[in-house]
Amino acid sequence: MTGPAPVRIGVVGYGLMGRAHCYGYRVAPMLRRLPVTPVVTVMSGRDAAAVAAAAAAYGVPEHVTSWRSLVEREDLDIVDICTPPGTHAEIAAAAAAAGKAVLCEKPLAATYAQARAALYAVTAAGVRHAVGFNYRRLPAVALMRRMIADGAVGEPRLWRASFLSDEFTDPATPYDWRFDRTMGGTTIADLGSHLIDLALWMVGEISAVCAQSQTFIGRRTLTGGGTAAVTVDDASSALLTFSSGARGTVEVARAAIRRPCDFTVEVNGSAGTLAFDYARLNELWFGAADDDPATYGMRRIRAEHPSHPYAADWWPIGQGVGYGSTFANQAADLLADWPGGEWTPDFGQGARVQAVCEAMERSAAGRRWVPVAEIAPDDSGPPARVQLPRRPASPASG
């Protein structure tokens, strides 16, 4: 007996995201009956020894040191990009030109111009494309969005979110691509892109922003000696105006000690409130205006019932799902109707998110409200040629 035909995937990058995506492809067929079997065939990375070790650990049979040689292979159906953001647009464009479907980790690029160029490339080539906003695929977060769409909170009026990390708190952390805006993007783009994606998904378009940013440790040591200037923010926050009239706030930081990966999302509407806390990622809190006053307050929903998004694919109620589950859910969603079906969130969403993030960056630099249309005017023509950043000479993990 034979199973579904394989869909062959090349993963560009072997760090944490490469590992997470490989895990997702391995687990997805255990969750759902898919029309194809995802097979990660090859992985690329510039450090030959490191990518060889990663490929062996992740069960990937082949590895190369050139992403271009991976993209040009005729036996691949999908190119999965898990490298630093400044490299995404170039790889995506090359993969699309080679006729491959493209999954790209967030943020889609380091700038809106790059994101728009990537969007144009995949659209012109007519290939499927998606951005890895994996937190959409937590059952509790997906349930939150469904309840908003179903009117559980009425008309959304206020939306707020925070994403706190302690990644940059140690002054001894050496300089690498994460501190280079052209290569790694800002904290706004790194952490904030997840939150802005959720804001757009749950509440709708954002029309204007007013932000502030701060870099607390301005220089980092180089491995070969000396220091280099940090060109990304350590922490930022912003006010948001939605096109619907709703208002919002967002805070992101990689300088919050003992906050490893903590994010929260809350929406207050005309008829209720929903709140999510990643530290309790299988729970959603809900309160409705017409609840019995005798039990005033918020009630906990265990987002593990088979009626909740994704939950039926996993474990019995009470066992929960975790971070890795989001990547398995992502792979299963993208391959559910292969080679047909619609991939979401796509590069169009990635570019919309990038525009809001860049508006926040411009606002913080200029100390003013910035309309998102200032970054992304209504222009459907081909983008101008984009100068992409050059990778640093030293090996990077992804």
Q: Please, what are the domains in the chain? A: 136-319 (3.30.360.10)
pLDDT for residue 397: 38
Cis peptide before 38 (omega within 30 of 0): no
pLDDT for residue 185: 82
pLDDT for residue 394: 38
Mean pLDDT, residues 311-318? 94
Tell me, rounded to whole angstroms, the distance of Cα 106 from its chain centroid: 4
For 52-92, what is each residue's pLDDT tens digit?
999 999 999 999 999 999 999 999 999 999 999 999 999 99
For 218-269, what is each residue's pLDDT tens digit?
999 999 999 999 999 999 999 999 999 999 999 999 999 999 999 999 999 9
Q: Residue 387 — pLDDT band, cuts 50, 70, 90?
A: low
The token pair that represents 66 in the structure block: 């050139």
39 vs 184: which has the higher pLDDT: 39
Angle at 210 between CA 359 and CA 189, to 5 degrees: 40
What percentage of the chain has pLDDT greater than the value 90?
92
Mean pLDDT, residues 179-199? 95
pLDDT for residue 379: 58
For 345-380, what is each residue's pLDDT tens digit?
999 999 999 999 999 999 999 999 999 999 999 755
pLDDT of residue 388 exceeding 90: no
pLDDT for residue 308: 97
pLDDT for residue 378: 73
pLDDT of residue 192 exceeding 80: yes
What residues pair up with 251 in beta bridges, in sequence order?
A: 162, 237
Phi, psi of 291 (to 5 degrees): -65, 160
| Separation in Å, CA 309 to CA 131, 139, 146, 202, 325 | 20, 5, 9, 15, 12
pLDDT for residue 393: 40
Please state whether beta strands 62-64 and 235-242 pair in parallel, antiparallel, or not at all (unpaired). unpaired
1 vs 34: which has the higher pLDDT: 34
pLDDT of residue 383 exceeding 70: no
- Burial class of residue 239, CB neighbours in 10 A (0-12, 13-18, 19+): middle
pTM above 0.75, yes or no: yes
Mean pLDDT, residues 109-117? 96
